[in-house]
Structure 1
Amino acid sequence: MAFDYKREYKEFYLPPRRPVTVTVPPMNFVAVRGRGDPNAEDGDFTRSIDLLYGIAFTIKMSRRGDHRIEGYFDFVVPPLEGFWWQPGGAGIDLSRKEDFEWTAAIRLPEFVTADEFAWAAGEAARKEQTDFSAAEFWTLDEGLCVQCLHVGPYDDEPATLALLHEYAESQGYVLDGTGERHHHEIYLSDARRVAPEKLKTVLRQPVREA
């Protein structure tokens, strides 16, 4: 059976709807960075998703080809993730989507090294005749965060975020958007196939002690 990160690490991918505290260990990702409204038709965010899945599935399906990756195990490709921020603060304002800066990412299995990532990017570019140079091998040590599950449309997230921020303050934390620690979303549903009111999204916010 393929290794499923969502099932094996429920504390990171299937939190309750009430806010909780979590410490996230370092993880490796395939990532693409950009800016602007993610809802823009044929925009950079939409194009980045093709690059992410192109590399992730090249790694997953490598077992069917001649290339052998040391330590390989079959896995379910983890869900799409997004890290979001705007100039001037640790929080985000969903009414100003055009000001977003973002990193779109998919978690990589631990056996994927920088060298194997470079092979996968080259192989995906060869097969799909597409430029994959915007995709990078990225390691993030997210650390102390608060998180919860949001159910519903993305535009309804502010109410859930308010609960998350209230919880953080009650625990003696303040939001921390330093370095590459940003507002973090994990998309458990496919927005193309799931009704907006049934969308499930992990909302995670990095924090530090006040």
Structure 2
Amino acid sequence: MPFDYKKEYREFYLPPKTPGIVRVPAMHFLAVRGQGDPNEEGGAYKQAIGLLYAVAFTIKMSKLGSHKLDGYFDYVVPPLEGLWWQEGVHGVDYARKEAFHWISLIRLPEFVTKEAFDWAVRQATEKKKQDFSPVEFFVWEEGMCVQCMHIGPYDDELATVSAMDAYAQAQGYTADFGEGRFHHEIYLSDVRRCKPERLKTVIRHPVRSVL
């Protein structure tokens, strides 16, 4: 059976619908940075997702080619993730999507080194005849966070975020947004096939202890 990060690391990908505190270790990702409204048709965000998945599946399907990656194991490509922020805003303002800065992410298996990443980008460029230079090898340790499973439209996240804030404060934590510390979403549903009221999204916010 292919290794499935969602099932093997349930604490990071399948939290309950009630908030909890979690410490997130360092992980490796594919990443593309950008800014602007993610809903813009043909915009930078949707182009970024296409670039990420092309490189992700180049790595996954390398098992069928002549170039063998050291330590390769079969796996399910992890879900799309997003880091979101706006200049001068604590958290995010859902009414000002055009002001978003974002980093779109897909987690990489542990066997993917910087060298393996570079090969995959070259391979995708050759096959797709596209510019994959925006895709980065991104190492990130998120640290202490409060998180919760949100069910429903993205624009309704505020109620979930409010519950997370209240829980964190009750546990002796406060929000810790800043450099490298962002509003984080993990998308468990395919927005093209899922009704808005059934969308499943992990929401994660950085926190620090005030005790």
* TM-score bucket of the superposed structures, by smaller chain: over 0.9
Q: Which amino acid aligns with 2:18?
A: R
SS in 1 for 2:96: helix
- TM superposition outliers: structure 1 runs of 4+ over 2 Å: none
Cα distance, 1:169 vs structure 2: 1.1
Residue of structure 2 in register with 1:181 after alignment = 181
Tell me, yes or no, if the aligned pair for 1:37 and 1:99 is still in contact at 8 Å: yes
Is 2:82 the counterpart of 1:79? Answer: no
Deviations 1:52-82 (Å, cap 9, x if unpaired)?
1001100000010010111100000000000
Separation (CA, whole Å) in 2 of partners of 1:86 and 1:168: 22
Question: 1:5-20 to 2 correspondence within 5 Å?
Answer: 5-20=5-20
Give, in angstroms, the shift of residue 6 of structure 1.
0.2
Structure 2: how far apart are the matches of 1:181 and 1:119?
30
Secondary structure, counterpart of 1:134 in structure 2: coil
SS in structure 2 at match of 1:94 = coil
Aligned residue pairs total: 210
Deviations 1:118-175 (A, max 9, x none): 0001100110111000000000000000000000011100111111111111111111
Pairing 1:95-174 to 2, within 5 Å after superposition: 95-174=95-174
- Output the CA distance in 2 between the equivalents of 1:89 and 1:26: 26
Aligned residue number for residue 28 of structure 1: 28
Aligned twin of 1:208: 208
Asked if 2 retains the 8 angstrom alpha-carbon contact of 1:29 and 1:106, the reply is yes
TM-score by length of 1: 0.99
Match of 1:195 in 2: 195
Give the counterpart letter for 2:182 in structure 1: H
Give the stretch that moved more between structures: 180-189 or 88-97: 88-97
8 A Cα contact 1:89 1:177, kept in partner: no
The residue type equivalent to 1:18 in the other structure is: T
Paired with 1:90 and 1:59, the residues of 2 have a C-alpha distance of 36
Listed as ranges, the gaps of 5+ residues in structure 2 are none
Secondary structure, in 3 states, of the residue corresponding to 1:207?
strand
Quote how far apart the aligned CAs of 1:199 are.
0.3
Instruction: Show the counterpart of 2:62.
Output: 62
User: Where does residue 91 of structure 2 map in the other structure?
Assistant: 91
RMSD: 0.7
The range that moved more, 86-95 or 33-42, is 86-95
Give aligned-pair identity as a percent: 59
Contact 1:90 1:182 (8 Å CA) reproduced: no
Deviates more, 1:177-186 or 1:109-118: 177-186
Which amino acid in the other structure matches residue 62 of structure 1? S
**Structure 1 residue 178, shift from structure 2 partner:** 2.2
Q: Which runs of 5+ in 1 are unaligned?
A: none
